[in-house]
Chain A
Amino acid sequence: VIWMTQSPSLLSASTGDRVTISCRMSQGISSYLAWYQQKPGKAPELLIYAASTLQSGVPSRFSGSGSGTDFTLTISCLQSEDFATYYCQQYYSFPFTFGPGTKVDIK
Chain B
Amino acid sequence: EVQLVESGGGVVRPGGSLRLSCAASGFTFDDYGMSWVRQAPGKGLEWVSGINWNGGSTGYADSVKGRFTISRDNAKNSLYLQMNSLRAEDTALYHCARRAGGIYGMDVWGQGTTVTVSS
A→B interface (CB under 8 Å): 1, 31-32, 34, 36, 38, 43-46, 48-50, 53, 55, 85, 87, 89, 91, 94-101
* A53 x B95 contact (CB < 8 A): no
How many A-B residue pairs lie within 8 Å, measured between CB atoms?
68
Instruction: Tell me what chain B mostly uses at the interface: helix, strand, loop, or mixed.
Output: strand
Residues of B within 8 A of A34 (CB): 105-106
A34 to B45, CA, bound (A): 13
Partner of A98, one of B44, B50, B58: B44
* A43 x B110 contact (CB < 8 A): yes
Residues of B within 8 A of A97 (CB): 47
* B109 x A95 contact (CB < 8 A): no
A99 to B37, CA, bound (A): 13
- Is B73 an interface position by the 8 A CB rule? no
- Is B1 an interface position by the 8 A CB rule? no
A98 to B95, CA, bound (A): 14
Residues of A within 8 A of B62 (CB): 1, 95
* A101 x B105 contact (CB < 8 A): no
Instruction: Using CB atoms, name the residue of chain A closest to B101.
Output: A91
* A43 x B95 contact (CB < 8 A): yes
Residues of A within 8 A of B99 (CB): 91
How many Å from the CB of B94 to the closest CB on chain A? 11
Asked if A94 meets B60 with Cβ closer than 8 Å, knowing A49-B103, A53-B103, A100-B44, the reply is: yes
A94 to B60, CA, bound (A): 7
Residues of A within 8 A of B50 (CB): 94-96
A100 to B111, CA, bound (A): 21
How many Å from the CB of B13 to the closest CB on chain A? 27
Instruction: Using CB atoms, name the residue of chain A closest to B112.
Output: A43
How many Å from the CB of A48 to the closest CB on chain B? 8
B60-119 interface with A by 8 A CB criterion: 60-62, 95, 99, 103-107, 109-112
How many Å from the CB of B66 to the closest CB on chain A? 13
